[in-house]
Amino acid sequence: MMFERIAPEQHDTLEGIAEPSENALLVGHAEAAATLASAYRAGKLPHALLLAGPRGIGKATFAYHLAYHLLRHPAAAGAPEMLAAPDTDSPLFRQIAMGAHPAVLHLTRPFNDKTKKFATLLTVDEIRRVNRFLSMTSHDGSYRVVIVDPADDMNTNAANALLKNLEEPPARTVFLLITHSAGSLLPTIRSRCQMIRLQPLAADEVETVLTALGMPLPDDAGKRAALLERAGGSVRDAILLSEFGGLEIADTVDVLVGGASFDFAKAHRLADAVSGRDNEIRFDLMNAHLLDIVTQAAGKAAETGEIARAGNFARVFQELRIAISDTDTYNLDRKQHTLNMILRLHDTLRM
C-alpha cells in the first residue's frame, strides 16, 4: 500500500516518510506520556512544555499525540490514563494532520514563495501568528495547542516575541516547544516551561519504527547492528544514514574533526561530495552532524564541571548556525563553508 501524504510539506520532509502530524505510531516515551496524561486528568497540565532530546527520536510526534489527546478528551477528568492512540480515520486526526484544525497552531520555518525555498530560521512573523491564533475563541471550549518546531530555529526577535506569550498564557492553552538543544534557548524561555526530557529510542524500538515505515534494513546482522548503533536512538538519523549516505558523511566528519592533525585532502574530498547543486540533503546532513558534535561536546563539558569549555562550545554552536544560515540566505560557496566549519570544529576540540 503506497504512502499517502496529507500533511503540508516541511523544511525537513523526507519523501515517503510520514510527517509527525500524520504519524499515528508513537514508539517509546511511555513514562513521559503517562506523566502528562496524569497531569491533564488532575487539571495540572503546565501551560508550556519544553520537549527536549536529540533530533529524530519522536519529539514532534509526541507533541501531536498530546494535542490529539487534549482535543479528543476535552473533559480532563474523564480522559484516559495514557495518551489516546489516534484514530487515523477520524476527522479530528485528519484535520490535525492537514494543519487545518482551528485549535492547533504549528510554527516552523516558513516557505518563501519568492525564492521557492524554506527559510533557515523560524522568523518573528511566524511567532506573531500566535496572537491572532489566541484571539480566536475555542470552538468547543477545548484546549488550544501551539507547537513550536523546533524552538531552536527561532532568531532572537522571534524568541523575544514568544516570550511575551509565555509570560501571560491564556487559560486552556498549552505551548509545546520542541528542542534538540535546550541550552541554545533563552534562559527566560526555559524558565517558563516545564522540561520534559525525551530519551533516545532503544535499538529495537528504532528497528520497530523503520519496519513500520517500510524502510529496508541491511540483511547482514553486523551491518544492521552498526547502523542502529550509529543512529543513536534516532529514527530520522537511521533513515538518513541508510538512504542518503549519511553514515559515510558522519564517519568522514568524525575522522576530520577528531584527528590529531587536519587532513586537508580528505576535507576537500568531503566538501566536493556535499556541496554540489544536487547534494542538498548531504549538505544538510553534514551541517547537522557538525551541530550534533558541538552539542554533545558542550553537554560533556557541562557534566564534568568545565563551565568555560561548555560556554565556548555554546558560542561555536551559534557561530555554526549563523554560518549555515548565511550560506543559504546569501548563496555563499558551500565548499568553502564546509572547509571553514570542519577546520573550526577541529581546532575547537583541540582546545
Q: Stretch 223-227: mean pLDDT, rounded? A: 87
Q: Domain check: are 166 and 286 in the same one?
A: no
Asked if residue 323 belongs to a domain, the reply is yes
Angle at 171 between CA 170 and CA 175, to 5 degrees: 65
Quick check: 139 pLDDT over 70?
no
Asked if residue 169 belongs to a domain, the reply is yes
Percent of all residues in the chain with a pLDDT value above 90, rounded to a whole number: 72
Domain of residue 338 covers 244-350
Asked if residue 204 belongs to a domain, the reply is no
- Residue that is last in its domain, among 197, 224, 253: 197
Asked if residue 264 belongs to a domain, the reply is yes
* Cβ–Cβ under 8 Å, residues 107 and 149: yes
Asked if residue 103 belongs to a domain, the reply is yes
Angle at 345 between CA 339 and CA 348, to 5 degrees: 140
Q: Are strands 111-112 and 117-118 parallel, antiparallel or unpaired?
A: antiparallel
pLDDT band, very low/low/confident/very high, at 244 (cuts 50, 70, 90): confident
Three cell numbers, residue 267: 576535507
pLDDT band, very low/low/confident/very high, at 248 (cuts 50, 70, 90): confident
Q: Domain check: are 57 and 153 in the same one?
A: yes
Quick one: pLDDT at residue 137? 74
Minimum mean pLDDT range among 80-84, 111-115, 137-141, 333-337: 137-141
pTM: 0.80
Q: Domain check: are 192 and 260 in the same one?
A: no
Q: Domain check: are 38 and 159 in the same one?
A: yes
Helical residues (DSSP H) of the chain, grouped into ranges: 30-41, 59-72, 91-97, 124-127, 129-135, 156-167, 187-191, 203-212, 221-231, 235-243, 246-258, 264-274, 280-303, 307-329, 334-350
- Residue that is last in its domain, among 197, 232, 255: 197
Q: Domain check: are 296 and 159 in the same one?
A: no
Q: Domain check: are 32 and 162 in the same one?
A: yes
**CATH code, domain carrying 33:** 3.40.50.300
Q: Which residue has the higher pLDDT, 22 or 137?
A: 22
Q: Stretch 81-88: mean pLDDT, rounded? A: 91
Q: Domain check: are 263 and 156 in the same one?
A: no
Residues 6+ positions from 97 with CB-CB distance below 8 Å:
6, 7, 19, 21, 22
Quick one: pLDDT at residue 247? 82
Q: Domain check: are 126 and 275 in the same one?
A: no
Quick one: pLDDT at residue 228? 92
Q: Stretch 307-332: mean pLDDT, rounded? A: 90
Q: Domain check: are 26 and 154 in the same one?
A: yes
Q: Stretch 181-196: mean pLDDT, rounded? A: 93
Asked if residue 188 belongs to a domain, the reply is yes
Quick check: 141 pLDDT over 90?
no
Q: Domain check: are 145 and 41 in the same one?
A: yes
Quick one: pLDDT at residue 335? 95
Helix H or strand E segment including 118: strand 117-118
Q: Domain check: are 24 and 141 in the same one?
A: yes
What is the Cα–Cα distance from 299 to 320, expressed in whole angstroms? 17
Asked if residue 102 belongs to a domain, the reply is yes
Q: Domain check: are 149 and 278 in the same one?
A: no
Number of domains within the chain: 2
How do residues 99-120 score in pLDDT, each as one tens digit?
A: 999 999 999 999 988 888 888 8
Quick check: 1 pLDDT over 60?
no
Asked if residue 225 belongs to a domain, the reply is no
Quick check: 329 pLDDT over 90?
no
Quick one: pLDDT at residue 333? 94
Quick one: pLDDT at residue 2? 58
